Amino acid sequence: MTPQINTLANDLSIFSPFSKGEKLKHHSGTNCVIYTRVSTKEQADNNMSLTTQKKACELYAAKCGYSISGHFGGTYESAKNDERSEFNRMLTFVKNIKQGISFIIVYSVDRFSRSGANAIFISQQLKKSGIIVISVTQPTDASTSSGSLQQNIQYIFSEYDNQLRREKTMAGVKEALLRGEWCQMPPLGYESVRRDGQRLIVINEKGKLLRNAFLWKANENLSNEEIKKRLIAMGLKITFQRVAGLLRNPFYCGLICQKALEGQIVEGKHEALISREIFLKVNGLLQKNNQGYIVKHDNDAIPLKNFMKCDNCGNSMPGYMVKAKKLWYYKCRTVGCCNNKSAKQIHHSFLNLLEPFRLSLTDKAAQMVKKEMVRAMSHHLEQRQSEELLIKNKLVEVQNRIDKLEERFILEEITKEQFVKFNDRFKQERLEINRQLEKSNSKVSNLDKAVQNLLAFSSDLPSLWTSSDYTGKLKLQHLVFPKGITYNKKTDECRTPEINPLFSYIAYLKRVLEQKKIGIKEENFNYSDLVASPGVEPESNV
């Protein structure tokens, strides 16, 4: 071995590409930053404790001989989570500054964060970069294991203290609500005032205008759009959605409803804008409109409402009764679409849509069909199981991406905008995969019995739908047509984007057994994985 090669072999730095683990950074400098904050805007406006925090941190830095490279915070930011603009700006600064920051000085650990476990994680990541968090009022040497333990305990107690405060606050809020005292910002039409040292919620000028909205709805049965226009003409700017919301808010008739009350309704101490009778009348009339028809939620006369979509615009088609004719109709929700049709005629078209799935068989033919369906379904389920495994693997991959993204965000490797953008995309992808998993259920406890029930179910499908009650009709509709149906007024035709594969297969068998060349429109069907094998012969007496 030559002297040169021997020298190289003894130089261990050459072997650094083969080393394992991360090399910890140790900043030997004295550069630091100071972070101060308060929890509420009121504290920030009054400069409560901010000056005290800053002064104490500066004195500590001077005492230790540290050089202050920047001040952060100085405003109000909640410490319940770590999505704080000043906090994140500080983390970005200490990570990217070329001179290197060795310390983050705070007045107390709860000024740094009250998020417990997440605060511990952030501190550990900073420590790996050679940055130590120092609390002026709770001094610990976080560079050592014991000091780091003490600091972590302080973080956890800060989170615990935060939770206790929230519980006490919510308990106080609930007690106040039970006394009829509204603790939040009053709704539109009310304002909070102080009289004789007491907080009162009173009706303002906007409230006097809003009273007209309730009276118009109760007495003239105006539409919400017309009410909005009238209020705007009177000088009150309001949206259509806001009108709909306030008409359903019992606060205006003197009652309080709030999540903290856990479903209870309490009589409020505030002045009622309208009487309870007017409020109930308004909300009873919300099921009517000025075109003279009544909408009902559950009605045997219109079982296809909202299950059926407009073929022109894709909007749902609810049902209504024309008073003058005493006839039920379906109508597209889109204003100006004009896609409406008599319920009686629509139901006739729907029964025609069910006709291809009505399969009447002799006993011998039924046994033969059952055997073939069991064979085909067994093959189909095997394919579904393979697909389900692939979908589950995709779900694991997406979850790993989400976890990695969250880690990169915490480590400040990506901005908040990038995190939100990709997090929303990945979560939407995860949602779609979960939906696919729900649809790909490949488990059937008893395939023979399931096929037998299906054949019995299909023996006279149109009659079964006609004789069922409202709930039964809905179940049958969704079973056969999972994605609903559409109606086209120009062609006077009902169609569907998807058919349950089992019923698609029944329609296919019916065509084979009846030796029909023309049957249902094939573009509506997908039974490629349920094709019957050779050997199924129709009987002459079927």
User: Whole-angstrom Cα distance, residue 131 to residue 103?
Assistant: 5
pLDDT classification of 466: cutoffs 50, 70, 90: confident
- Residue 512 in contact with residue 532, Cβ under 8 Å? yes
The answer, yes or no, to whether residue 412 has pLDDT greater than 50, is yes
Q: Give the pairing of strands 293-294 and 340-342.
A: unpaired
Least confident of 148-162, 168-182, 361-375: 148-162
DSSP 219: I
The answer, yes or no, to whether residue 536 has pLDDT greater than 50, is no
User: Whole-angstrom Cα distance, residue 156 to residue 117?
Assistant: 7
The answer, yes or no, to whether residue 436 has pLDDT greater than 50, is yes
- Taking each helix axis from N to C terminus, what angle separates 85-96 and 117-128, rounded to the nearest 10 degrees? 20
The answer, yes or no, to whether residue 143 has pLDDT greater than 70, is no
> Is 450 or 317 the better-scoring residue by pLDDT?
317
Q: What do you get for the CA distance between the two ends of the chain, in Å? A: 95
| Tokens 């709030």 sit on residue | 258
Mean pLDDT taken over the chain: 75
CA angle 317/320/323 to nearest 5° reads: 155
The answer, yes or no, to whether residue 164 has pLDDT greater than 70, is no
Neighbours of 241 (CB within 10 A): 10
pLDDT classification of 425: cutoffs 50, 70, 90: confident
| pTM of the predicted model as reported, rounded to 2 decimal places | 0.37
Query: Of 11-15, 53-57, 91-95, 430-434, which has the strongest mean pLDDT?
Result: 53-57
Cβ-count burial of 382 within 10 angstroms (0-12 exposed, 13-18 middle, 19+ buried)?
Answer: exposed
Query: pLDDT (tens digit, 9 = 90+) per residue, 272-327?
Result: 898 888 888 887 744 444 444 444 445 778 889 888 999 888 888 888 888 778 88
DSSP 23: P
Query: pLDDT (tens digit, 9 = 90+) per residue, 96-119?
Result: 876 788 898 988 877 776 555 667
**What is the pLDDT at residue 190?**
92
Query: pLDDT (tens digit, 9 = 90+) per residue, 343-368?
Result: 899 999 898 888 888 877 776 767 77
Token pair recorded at residue 401 = 């991406």
Cβ-count burial of 80 within 10 angstroms (0-12 exposed, 13-18 middle, 19+ buried)?
Answer: middle
| Tokens 């009289």 sit on residue | 195
| Tokens 């001077």 sit on residue | 62
The answer, yes or no, to whether residue 213 has pLDDT greater than 80, is yes
pLDDT classification of 196: cutoffs 50, 70, 90: confident
Task: Give all strands (DSSP E) within 169-217, no chain letters.
Answer: 190-195, 198-203
The answer, yes or no, to whether residue 388 has pLDDT greater than 80, is no
- Residue 113 in contact with residue 122, Cβ under 8 Å? yes
Q: Give the pairing of strands 293-294 and 265-267.
A: unpaired
Phi/psi of residue 341, nearest 5 degrees: -160, 150
Helix or strand (DSSP H, E) at 200: strand 198-203
User: Whole-angstrom Cα distance, residue 324 to residue 7?
Assistant: 105
Judged by DSSP in three states, 306 sits in: coil
**What is the pLDDT at residue 168?**
61
Q: How far is the CA of 95 from the CAs of 30, 99, 131, in angstroms?
A: 15, 10, 9
Neighbours of 380 (CB within 10 A): 19
Token pair recorded at residue 262 = 């856990």
Q: How far is the CA of 424 from the CAs of 198, 337, 405, in angstroms?
A: 46, 34, 11
Query: pLDDT (tens digit, 9 = 90+) per residue, 236-276?
Result: 888 888 888 888 888 999 888 887 777 788 888 888 898 88
**What is the pLDDT at residue 160?**
56
What is the rounded average pLDDT of the residues 5-12? Answer: 57
What is the rounded average pLDDT of the residues 33-57? Answer: 72
User: Whole-angstrom Cα distance, residue 207 to residue 248?
Assistant: 15
Token pair recorded at residue 528 = 């490629």
Report the length, in residues, of the chain. 542
The answer, yes or no, to whether residue 56 has pLDDT greater than 60, is yes
> Is 198 or 519 the better-scoring residue by pLDDT?
198
User: Whole-angstrom Cα distance, residue 305 to residue 317?
Assistant: 6
Token pair recorded at residue 355 = 């006709």
The answer, yes or no, to whether residue 19 has pLDDT greater than 70, is no
- Residue 163 in contact with residue 170, Cβ under 8 Å? no
